[in-house]
Structure 1
């Protein structure tokens, strides 16, 4: 059933009219003065009342798209949230459902949206990629572009972040689907970052096209569950944050044809025993030249999800910094990198918005944060107070 949400004002209070559930669409200042090392920010709640939101896409004209994991896509514009029709059927269970959404770089002309979702049934599911054109509040010309080559038991580690490279190809992360050894199997898409064309096919210049033992879509492998992914459009550098087990969350620079080690190398702990994960020890990295050392390990557990690169002039002292969201940590980090080394980190939003699922920079230059909640996920904007 299609839903429409409209914010109205009554006696100075913002109310929402909603056919199913509740939502808050009028903007609200949550924190008037939020101090950081370089500038004071204002925290504004743009919209809320979302059910397990997973991703936000920022469109031209101050419009937003928010995915809800149960399988809904909401278009937010002028104080209204309209449920978009034509979303593909998704299999929702635990971490699965409707996941990432990004506009095509030429969205203004072609109206293409790309989205990831879990596809399958109660026995087995896969991470999948689709696209469709957004026309008014409908998805039309829908196409299923890609599905990982093996289905797994539903519920775990779908990955599913998307990011465009400057050449027009698309990076897509897929988690290990709860089976760690799959991340070292290059005949399996699980536990990898893929590089796909806009048509969902492997570009001919992918690093292992024609290799008998490596699937042509695989760009890098040895990943547990990448849920933060961003590309520097100037340099082409791709950055990713990924979940470790109990600890061992990582920030990586994604390079073509490289192995990032999971599960053979990890600083995380075993969930059951809380001891070292198998025989994986940090020093093993230096013994295996095929494996890439992470740029940074978040200790203690951060549970990273969502990653943005700061550009433009809204935050002049944050230029080139990464901002990473954290779920269980309920905070974000501003990360300063010099020559592929983290030289400084600043904690942001500790306990202010709850579990942070996504972080994006919009066309307006502002940073937006999406909080993950079962019934009241929210979309927030960080504004310099002197702006």
Structure 2
């Protein structure tokens, strides 16, 4: 057993040096048909953005601020937020619009709350009245809260059936991702008012939180709906290597930490297994880690060759990752914006068909990719 573990450790070490485990292989950067426009700068670790129908943009900052950036160039601080407690990797996180926003003016956002000295992810909804929030309701609280300031997850998505999908990290307590009696290391599905969908996979099972949709997730910070197939794709951080890209499946166990393609940060082996019965295999994984955050599946008209491609921000490797699909198969990858040397926190397709990015720094930026043909 000692020899086996030693050989496995050497194999992982070799993969980190050569990226031999990145599936499928990535290509060299080739796209030169766009320019980068700085829309806004001097943002304080921005985390997410949402486009309003009138052309304005909502931006969250991890420090607890929500901003409304007007098409007229004016920047407004949104009031009426709940108590937010930034700590470590958490604070004010994702923000999305209700599918019926033009009618009900409702937004949803995730944030870190504090209770008796411990921190956890919560989700609220409220009515947006220009730059203030009204009728705020907290509709979900992840349990348990812990003292940890890492792995809050926190991406939000409305599924085609109108339910709300919430991603959660395991707060650095890796073994809890296989513990179905709590919310740590899972993806949650609820109705927009916080109630339970009647067809959740574990709704009436002993030992399972009824909001669970999946478990065995480490820290999901990107989720997107494919506009043509209706499939939901998501990615999650691995440890030292082993970032994953997956398709969301009801009731699935994604394996963390029982199976993984990564090592602990110390170099120690977390698991000798990369596959086990009853646990999902990723559509792609990355060794070494790219540290994925934010995600969109492009459906604009500005870049016809990018239709249906997945775009993922990379924090550690500081680039924009283009993942090319053929059906549900990943056939190629491309690294973009490497020369920017920016940690990319979020990626969104704008209503104008351009790609929008948030960079993760104390002088964070909102960037726009435009085709050169628009000059």
Compute the TM-score of the two structures, normalised by the length of structure 2.
Answer: 0.89
SS in 1 for 2:69: strand
For the pair 1:362 / 2:350, whether they are aligned, the reply is yes
* Map 1:26-105 → 2, pairs under 5 A: 37=30, 40-77=33-70, 78-105=72-99
Q: Is the 8 A contact 2:223 2:294 kept in 1?
A: yes
Give the number of the structure whose residues are more often strand, by fraction.
1
Where does residue 246 of structure 1 map in the other structure? 240
5+ residue gaps, structure 1, are 1-34
Q: CA offsets per residue over residues 270-322 of structure 1, 9 Å max, x none?
A: 112x1322x3322xx1xx32100000011221000000001131111111110
Cα distance change on mapping 1:351 and 1:37 into 2, 3 Å: closer
Q: Is the 8 A contact 1:54 1:69 kept in 2?
A: yes
The correspondence for 2:135, drawn from 137, 141, 147, is 141
For the pair 1:378 / 2:365, whether they are aligned, the reply is yes
The correspondence for 1:187, drawn from 176, 181, 184, is 181
Where does residue 30 of structure 1 map in the other structure? none
The correspondence for 1:347, drawn from 332, 335, 338, is 335
The correspondence for 2:119, drawn from 115, 120, 125, is 125
State the Cα distance separating 1:61 from its structure 2 match: 2.5
Q: CA offsets per residue over residues 320-347 of structure 1, 9 Å max, x none?
A: 1100101111101110122432110011
SS in 1 for 2:373: coil
* Map 1:257-272 → 2, pairs under 5 A: 257-272=251-266
For the pair 1:205 / 2:223, whether they are aligned, the reply is no
Cα distance change on mapping 1:304 and 1:83 into 2, 3 Å: same
State the Cα distance separating 1:353 from its structure 2 match: 5.7
SS in 2 for 1:386: helix
Give the number of the structure whose residues are more often helix, by fraction.
2
Where does residue 332 of structure 1 map in the other structure? 320
State the Cα distance separating 1:121 from its structure 2 match: 4.4
Q: CA offsets per residue over residues 41-90 of structure 1, 9 Å max, x none?
A: 01001001011111111122221111111110000001111100111111
Q: CA RMSD in A?
A: 1.5
Where does residue 25 of structure 1 map in the other structure? none
Deviates more, 1:64-73 or 1:345-354: 345-354
Deviates more, 1:120-129 or 1:308-317: 120-129
Where does residue 6 of structure 2 map in the other structure? none
Higher relative contact order, structure no. (Cα contacts within 8 Å, ≥ 6 residues apart)? 2
- Alpha-carbon distance in structure 1 between the residues aligned to 2:190 and 2:73: 36
Where does residue 280 of structure 1 map in the other structure? 272
Q: Is the 8 A contact 1:207 1:257 kept in 2?
A: yes
Where does residue 279 of structure 2 map in the other structure? 291
Q: Is the 8 A contact 2:227 2:297 kept in 1?
A: no
SS in 2 for 1:351: helix
State the Cα distance separating 1:179 from its structure 2 match: 0.2
State the Cα distance separating 1:36 from its structure 2 match: 6.3
